[in-house]
Amino acid sequence: MIFFSMDFLLFTATAGLSIWKAKSDKTCNAPLTNSAFVFVKPHANTASVQDLVRNTLQSKGVTILSEVCISGETIDEKKLIDQHYYAIASKATILPAKDIPVPADKFQNAFGESWETVLAENRACNAMEACKRFGCDAQQLDEAWGKAEKVEKFGGGFYCGIVSMNGQKLYVFNAFFMSMRSKFVGAGTSIYCFVVEFSPKTISWSDFRNIVLGPTDPADGPPGSLRKAILDDYTALGLAEKPNKGDNGVHASASPFEGLAERMNWLGTKISDDSFGSALLAAGLSEKTIKDWSVDPRVKQPDGSMGSVFDALEDMDVDECLEKLVLLNKLNA
């Protein structure tokens, strides 16, 4: 369970969560601040990297509200990484094949047979089911996916491929995700998390991501950015392999709303107990809408197109993000 109070944030858990207390100086009348969720990825989760992240954040004027370590066993059991990458994982581990929203016409055009027939003959499965049916692990499935007879993209993070292994041939959705997932749920793995806040007057969200954190490719990071610092000193920091675009050391929320979504997922934060969540409720968004949008669906945008919620809010500071969400809520009422 996770308990919150006005003066202290206390994390208590029995399955891989460490206990941590952190002071909070928030008051009911305080202006909204940028609040993000940051975590050290499993491949980089050493004490030295934790110290580097902590010291760098604080030196840049970022306040650390709380810290918690989450074990791979907990991540696996609660499917936390699956929720984090919901758009991809929903087709790989969460939804069975029969519930995946496969566009029947596109499937027919791509593979030359009907989706209804494939389902009736039990020849389709998500990635997690594929591991069981093939009797393989994540790495073996990933290798088979690389040799797939054909792979078709149905949308963002939505792929279907004809995969053959051990005398079987199946339609498999998002098979590549199992390899990604295995990095977070393997025995002895964990992530180390920080809930942080910073004033938009001191650090913009864009600067937080691009200067404090650094770009996706750590080699392109400015001097002093977290991802670049981890790359430059990865051996001394205790990393077994050189960081790259995928394993780039640290993750951070792309917007205040994404930060809320990640706190809800990883920490079990209640919307009404979160300052930004409370502001959204007060601005007219329902709890259902906030929860639905926390998995990044496509919604109507101001220009009339359909697009990602997260993409529409990327790099916005808290007040602008709140205004944009109110607008999107009206457009999608």
Which of 2-6, 11-15, 176-180, 321-325 tops mean pLDDT?
321-325
pLDDT in tens, 126-177: 999 999 999 999 999 999 999 999 999 998 789 999 999 999 999 999 999 9
Residue 226 clears pLDDT 70, i.e. is over it:
yes
Q: Give burial (CB, 10 Å; 0-12/13-18/19+) of 244.
A: middle
Mean pLDDT, all residues of the chain? 91
pTM for this one? 0.84
Q: What number is the average pLDDT over the span 99-115?
A: 96
Look at 15-29, 166-180, 247-261, 286-300 and tell me which has the smallest mean pLDDT: 15-29
Binning pLDDT at 50, 70 and 90, where does residue 23 land?
Answer: very low
- Structural domains in the chain, sorted by start: 2-78+185-269 (3.30.70.141), 95-181 (no CATH), 270-333 (no CATH)
Closest CA to 263 of 47, 83, 7, 21: 83
pLDDT in tens, 145-159: 999 999 999 987 899
pLDDT in tens, 263-302: 999 999 999 999 999 999 999 999 999 999 999 998 999 9
Position 203 scores a pLDDT of 96
Position 9 scores a pLDDT of 36
pLDDT in tens, 44-67: 999 999 999 999 999 999 999 999
Residue 244 clears pLDDT 90, i.e. is over it:
yes
Look at 15-19, 213-217, 282-286, 307-311 and tell me which has the smallest mean pLDDT: 15-19
- Residues 105, 134: Cα–Cα separation, whole Å: 28
More reliable by pLDDT, 33 or 187: 33
Tokens of residue 243, six digits: 């960081």
Lookup result for tokens 């810290």: 67
Q: What number is the average pLDDT over the span 204-223?
A: 96
Q: What number is the average pLDDT over the span 84-91?
A: 94
Binning pLDDT at 50, 70 and 90, where does residue 24 land?
Answer: very low
- Residues 114, 58: Cα–Cα separation, whole Å: 56
- Going across the sheet that includes 63-71, the strands are 63-71, 190-198, 34-40, 250-252
Lookup result for tokens 């944030």: 9
- Residues 43, 220: Cα–Cα separation, whole Å: 20
Binning pLDDT at 50, 70 and 90, where does residue 29 land?
Answer: low
Residue 30 clears pLDDT 80, i.e. is over it:
no
Binning pLDDT at 50, 70 and 90, where does residue 18 land?
Answer: very low
